[in-house]
């Protein structure tokens, strides 16, 4: 297995800001990335679900990844979302990301196809073997893909494919995740894919969080994860409950709708989406505004909430 001592802690699944004309807002993206790094986040994940990659072109994906690598410039690691429900496309996206200088790639389970467990194994193995020198994280989010990566499939990949080094687990299935944690080979990383489950999963042995809420409050989220990994459970638990209302509000409607609305309230991006996503309802915005005010996140946002 590839050595990945750096693959630990709080990672942010970055939103992709758009302009009024629908184009990627590159300047806003640069500001968001800088804010993440200033806030203590050392792992950046562009072009995932939160980044609306499903409605972005291949060229836009590569541009967003290139900007993330450029702005991070050795201060943070970049793990690009390069998954697809087409294995051939996922290979091409992953090879392109490697050429742009990423530190790793993240592959979502193939959506819509509903492959068998053998099909999932073959898919991930084929992509990983096409980028053998690059760390690969698989991403299990059955609520989005309609397809669950079973624990034994994850463990088989972890044992048999040297550069498959971790999983982002967003199934919400504690029994499944605990099986992976208990039986994984040394060095295989497990990240929570759900903000609200990060603290209990780290208590069970997980290595960190790939987060939505850290888009809004990178410093608070990274601090919570660092405290949990250091075993400072009282402080981490206090921060968890402080952030829990925002974690929950971010999923009142389809993500990244609420988090983009929040970032727009904070003056960090324009509230623009790609159809079929549409702006969130006023009641959702009202709840977000209330929570952000309580957190102090609507004041002095350039370096994150404090």
Residue 29: predicted pLDDT: 98
Q: Rounded to an integer, what distance in angstroms lies between the CA atom of residue 157 and that of residue 165?
A: 9
- Residue 139: active-site member: yes
Choice among 93, 111, 112, 139 that is catalytic:
139
The whole-number pLDDT of residue 303 equals 36
Residue 208 three-state SS = strand
Q: What is the pLDDT of residues 49-77, one digit of tens each?
A: 999 999 999 999 999 999 999 999 989 99
CB within 8 A of 192, min separation 6: which ones?
Answer: 168, 169, 170, 198, 201, 202, 206, 208, 209, 210
Q: Which residue, 23, 50, 82, is CA-closest to 216?
A: 50
Q: Which of 93, 168, 260, 273 is catalytic?
A: 168
Shortest CA distance to 12 belongs to which of 102, 73, 76? 76
Q: Please give the backbone phi and psi of residue 45, each rounded to the nearest 5 degrees, phi first.
A: -125, 90
pLDDT of 302 higher than 70: no
Q: Which residues contact 45 (CB under 8 A, 6 or more apart)?
A: 11, 12, 13, 14, 51, 78, 79, 80, 81, 106, 210
Give the pLDDT of residue 3: 84
On whether 210 is known to bind a ligand per the annotation, the reply is: yes
> Is 260 considered catalytic here?
no
Taking only the tens place, the pLDDT of each residue in 176-223 is 999 999 999 999 999 999 999 999 999 999 999 999 999 999 999 999
Domains observed in the chain: 9-233 (3.20.20.70)
Residue 300 banded pLDDT, cuts 50, 70, 90: low
Please report how the helices 151-160 and 117-130 are oriented relative to each other, as an axis angle in degrees rounded to 10: 30
8-27: b (≥16 Cβ within 10 Å) or e: bbbbbbbbbbbeeeeebbee
| DSSP helix/strand/coil, 256 | coil
By the 8 A CB rule, do 139 and 164 touch?
A: no
Greatest alpha-carbon pair distance for the chain in Å reads 50
Pairing of strands 189-192, 208-211: parallel
The closest of 2, 6, 10, 4 to 208, measured between CA atoms, is 10
Distances in whole angstroms, Cα of residue 105 to Cα of each of 117, 137, 158, 222, 252:
21, 6, 15, 21, 28
The partner residues of 189 in beta bridges, in order of sequence, read 166
């Amino acid at each position: 297995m590839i050595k990945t001592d750096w693959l630990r802690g709080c990672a942010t699944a970055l939103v992709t800001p758009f302009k009024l004309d629908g184009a990627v807002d590159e300047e806003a993206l640069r500001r968001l990335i800088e804010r993440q790094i200033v806030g203590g986040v050392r792992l950046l994940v562009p072009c995932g679900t939160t980044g609306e990659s499903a409605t972005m072109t291949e060229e836009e994906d590569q541009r967003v990844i290139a900007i993330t690598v450029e702005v991070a410039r050795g201060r943070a690691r970049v793990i690009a979302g390069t998954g697809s429900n087409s294995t051939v496309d996922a290979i091409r996206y992953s090879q392109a990301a490697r050429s742009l200088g990423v530190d790793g790639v993240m592959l979502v389970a193939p959506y819509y196809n509903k492959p068998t467990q053998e099909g999932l194994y073959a898919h991930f193995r084929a992509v990983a073997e096409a980028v053998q020198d690059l760390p690969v994280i698989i991403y299990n989010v059955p609520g989005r893909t309609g397809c669950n990566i079973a624990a034994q499939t994850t463990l088989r990949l972890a044992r048999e494919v040297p550069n498959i080094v971790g999983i982002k687990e967003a199934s919400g299935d504690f029994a499944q995740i605990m099986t992976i944690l208990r039986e994984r080979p040394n060095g295989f990383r497990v990240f929570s894919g759900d903000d609200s489950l990060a603290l209990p999963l780290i208590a069970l042995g997980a290595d960190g969080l790939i987060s939505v809420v850290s888009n809004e409050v990178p410093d608070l989220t990274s601090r919570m994860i660092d405290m949990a990994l250091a075993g400072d459970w009282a402080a981490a638990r206090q921060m968890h409950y402080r952030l829990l209302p925002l974690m929950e509000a971010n999923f009142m409607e389809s993500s990244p709708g609420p988090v983009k609305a929040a970032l727009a309230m904070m003056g960090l991006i324009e509230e623009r989406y790609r159809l079929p996503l549409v702006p969130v309802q006023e009641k959702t915005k009202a709840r977000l505004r209330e929570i952000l005010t309580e957190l102090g996140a609507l004041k002095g946002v350039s370096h994150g909430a404090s």
